[in-house]
Amino acid sequence: MSKYIELTNDNFDATTNSGVALVDFWAPWCGPCRMIAPIIEELAEEFKDQAAICKINTDEQQDLASKFGIRSIPTILLMKDGEVVETMVGASSKQAFTDKVNALL
């Protein structure tokens, strides 16, 4: 099974500057984050050659969370060519995430 991409300050720009990216801001202690984790894994497999499916641990990457003004988690950023085109806050269904990614492809 393909795995999502773990983003840090070092690989964020290179990963999100071109094409479509779904970026999940999460933390290990967050219940709703753990709830959508299997969905993020499935999306990483389903979109492996079409979009970057990524996660950012806000406890470890506070600079990135601050840069994007993340105030609650999970927060999902949908990006195209390095620009945030939509923000989703809170847990959502797999279908909702799939529809958003497909709309950007």
Active site residues: 30, 33
φ, ψ (nearest 5 deg) of residue 64: -70, -40
Sequence-distant (6+) residues with CB within 8 A of 93 are 39
Q: String of b and e for 85-97 (b: at least 16 CB within 10 Å)?
A: eeebeebbeeeeb
